[in-house]
């Protein structure tokens, strides 16, 4: 598609599909023509992912600080503890990377950030699963989650702690604070945007290294290569394959006339394999540099959690390489997940 029809209107879905690197980047950057303010139901309506500047930038400034690389770096030891604790509890020689490691790690990290009680973890896991469709989508579960979070917010208002909720409660920009609705929406956004994506980064990483054994050995010999390895995994098997926008004006893209109001889908996964941008795009090159992939988006909506996702990915992969030094796939038959624009596998057993 990228070569034959780089900007393609699908009559059935009535969606404009955008495939080349240059066009995908343009759609993600150009919020004046390609807006994020499309109809969204429920709690995510009006969160940063659903707003254009200037409203977007104001709200993002209120929530950004805890996610800066510096602040996220301080979570390193806690993340290592979580990963080791999970691996210490694995019974036998086999582990399903997805269900036993890649799903629990991001959920535990976010629960930790939010300062939730240990005994609430299992409930929290159940609620977050229903947000991303592992369980059947259940409005009751979402209501339960919102009630639970509202209670925690109320507790933190009277007795602040050193956690994300307490920090966000006192964050101010130009004298303005987050409303309770904005805070709740943001926390739910974190759960949706941060969990399954990171799960798939971890799963896709292990799978890619098992398929590219030379890279796996290189990485074992030289841990410094982990930084470029994570970027290349993100490019090669992008956890989020595409993002939606809506045309705000009549706009032309690579010679195609897109009418105001049309839905536009920017295919990040395709852009990241574009030969015009990445030489040998279909090859996994562990020390590829430069690597300006779009896996975390681009422009004003660039992933807020990118430093956290990178850190989690690095810690999980490094720990696995130490503890499963000769890892192999138990079964070569893998099933892709079927959750919208997310890309990963359902299960990945190694020994
Ligand atoms: C935005 C991907 C992990 C929070 C985005 C966007 C992408 C993305 C493509 C851009 C959305 C757009 O353009 O409309 C990923 C991937 C991840 C990951 C591939 C893991 C490998 C995380 C984590 C968190 C997070 C761990 C937080 C805990 C967010 C938020 C936004 C966002 C809040 C909205 C930013 C805005 O609209 O200004 N992410 N994400 N993400 N991500 Fe991530």
Tell me which of 31, 35, 305 to substitute to probe ligand 1's pocket, judged by most ligand atoms within 8 Å of the beta carbon: 305
Q: Give percent of the chain above pLDDT 90.
A: 82
| Nearest atom (ligand 1) to Cα of 195 | 26
Beta bridge partner(s), residue 329: 350
pLDDT in tens, 143-159: 899 999 999 999 999 99
pLDDT in tens, 271-292: 999 999 999 999 999 999 999 9
Whether the Cβ atoms of residue 218 and residue 158 lie closer than 8 Å to each other: no
The answer to whether the CB of 109 is under 6 A from ligand 1 is no
What are the C-alpha distances in Å from 20 to residues 203, 225, 302, 319? 26, 28, 18, 36
Report CA(107)–ligand 1 centroid distance (Å). Answer: 15
The answer to whether the CB of 127 is under 6 A from ligand 1 is no
pLDDT at 129 over 70: yes
If you take atom 37 of ligand 1, which residue's CA is the nearest one?
49
pLDDT category at 322 given cuts 50, 70, 90 is very high
pLDDT in tens, 227-283: 999 999 999 999 999 999 999 999 999 999 999 999 999 999 999 999 999 999 999
Residue 117 and residue 101: Cα distance in Å, rounded?
20
Strand order in the sheet with 7-10: 7-10, 15-18, 263-267, 242-247, 34-35
Taken in order 92, 344, 297, 45, is the CA torsion positive or negative? Answer: negative
pLDDT at 309 over 60: yes
Model pLDDT, residue 192: 87
pLDDT at 48 over 60: yes
Model pLDDT, residue 345: 97
Write the secondary structure of 158-212 as one string of H (helix), E (strand) and C (coil). HCCCCCHHHHHHHCEECCEECCHHHHHHHHHHHHHHHHHHHHHHHHHHHHHHHHC
The answer to whether the CB of 72 is under 6 A from ligand 1 is no
If you take atom 43 of ligand 1, which residue's CA is the nearest one?
303
DSSP string spanning 89-119?
A: T--SS-EEIIIIIITHHHHHHHHHHHT--GG
DSSP 35: E
Torsion of CA 268, 270, 274, 280, to 10 degrees: 110
DSSP string spanning 193-261?
A: HHHHHHHHHHHHHHHHHHH-HHHHHHHHH-GGGHHHHHHHHHHHT-SB-EEEEEESS-EEETTEEEPTT
Report CA(328)–ligand 1 centroid distance (Å). Answer: 31
ipTM over 0.90: yes
The answer to whether the CB of 197 is under 6 A from ligand 1 is yes
Model pLDDT, residue 131: 76
| Nearest atom (ligand 1) to Cα of 50 | 37
| Nearest atom (ligand 1) to Cα of 312 | 26
Most confident option among 36-45, 91-100, 176-185, 269-278: 269-278
The answer to whether the CB of 28 is under 6 A from ligand 1 is yes
In this prediction, residues 107-111 reach a mean pLDDT of: 93
The answer to whether the CB of 194 is under 6 A from ligand 1 is yes
Domain ranges across the chain: 42-241+275-350
Report CA(203)–ligand 1 centroid distance (Å). Answer: 17
pLDDT at 134 over 60: no
pLDDT at 68 over 90: yes
If you take atom 42 of ligand 1, which residue's CA is the nearest one?
303
The overall average pLDDT reported for the chain is 94
For the domain made up of 42-241+275-350, the CATH class stated in words is mainly alpha
Token pair, residue 80, equals 């290592």
Model pLDDT, residue 137: 54
pLDDT category at 42 given cuts 50, 70, 90 is confident
Model pLDDT, residue 136: 53
């Amino acid at each position: 598609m990228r070569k034959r029809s780089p900007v393609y209107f699908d009559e059935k879905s009535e969606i404009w599909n955008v495939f080349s690197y240059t066009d995908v980047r343009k759609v993600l950057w150009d919020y004046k023509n390609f807006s994020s303010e499309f109809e969204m139901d429920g709690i995510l309506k009006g969160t940063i992912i659903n707003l254009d500047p200037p409203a977007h930038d104001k709200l993002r400034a209120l929530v950004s600080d805890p996610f800066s690389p510096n602040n996220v770096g301080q979570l390193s030891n806690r993340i290592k503890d979580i990963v080791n604790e999970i691996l210490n509890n694995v019974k036998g020689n086999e582990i399903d990377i997805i269900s036993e490691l890649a799903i629990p790690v991001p959920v535990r990290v976010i629960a930790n950030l939010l300062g939730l009680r240990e005994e609430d973890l299992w409930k929290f896991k159940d609620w977050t699963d229903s947000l991303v469709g592992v369980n059947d989508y259940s409005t009751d579960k979402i209501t339960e989650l919102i009630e639970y979070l509202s209670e925690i917010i109320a507790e933190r208002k009277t007795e602040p702690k050193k956690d994300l909720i307490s920090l966000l409660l006192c964050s101010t920009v130009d004298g303005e604070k987050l409303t309770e609705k904005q805070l709740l929406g943001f926390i739910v956004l974190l759960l949706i945007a941060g969990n399954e994506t990171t799960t798939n980064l971890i799963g896709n990483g292990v799978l890619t290294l098992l398929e590219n054994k030379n890279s796996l050995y290189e990485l074992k010999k030289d841990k410094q290569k982990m930084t470029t390895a994570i970027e290349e995994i993100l490019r090669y098997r992008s956890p989020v394959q595409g993002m939606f926008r809506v045309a705000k004006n009549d706009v032309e893209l690579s010679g195609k006339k897109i009418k105001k109001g049309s839905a536009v889908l920017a295919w990040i996964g395709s852009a990241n394999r574009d030969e015009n941008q990445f030489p040998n795009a279909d090859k996994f090159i562990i020390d590829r540099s430069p690597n300006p992939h779009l896996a975390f988006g681009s422009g004003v909506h660039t992933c807020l959690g990118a430093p956290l996702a990178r850190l989690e990915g690095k810690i999980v992969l490094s720990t696995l390489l130490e503890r499963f030094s000769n890892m192999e796939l138990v079964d070569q038959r893998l099933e892709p997940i079927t959750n919208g624009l997310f890309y990963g596998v359902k299960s990945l057993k190694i020994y």
